[in-house]
């Protein structure tokens, strides 16, 4: 694994399912609501720190 490279991820990373859930508005609303809850209770921040070694979350105003 010597050929791996660490790269900086762009911020903010958009959290949405618009491409995946095209035509599935109920699924999109459900997932976006859960993502917002995980963001607000700090779970997404903990996961970002644990798995990516930093905070790569969008600003709160960008979470819909």
Q: How many CB atoms lie within 10 A of CB 44?
A: 20
**Would you call 3 helix, strand, or coil by DSSP?**
coil
**Domain coordinates in residue numbering, the chain:** 25-62
Residues 39 and 47 sit within 8 Å (Cβ to Cβ):
no
Cβ atoms of 45 and 51 within 8 Å: the answer is no
- Which pLDDT tens digit goes with each residue over 1-59? 678 787 776 655 455 545 566 678 888 888 889 999 999 999 999 999 999 899 989 88
Which letter does DSSP use for residue 17 in this model? -
Instruction: For the full predicted model, state whether its pTM sits above 0.75.
Output: no
């Amino acid at each position: 694994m010597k050929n791996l490279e660490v790269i900086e991820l762009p911020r903010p990373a958009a959290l949405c399912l618009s491409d995946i859930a095209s035509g599935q508005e109920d699924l999109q609303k459900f997932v976006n609501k859960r993502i917002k809850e995980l963001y607000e209770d700090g779970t997404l921040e903990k996961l970002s720190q644990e798995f990516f070694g930093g905070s790569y979350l969008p600003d709160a105003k960008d979470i819909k």
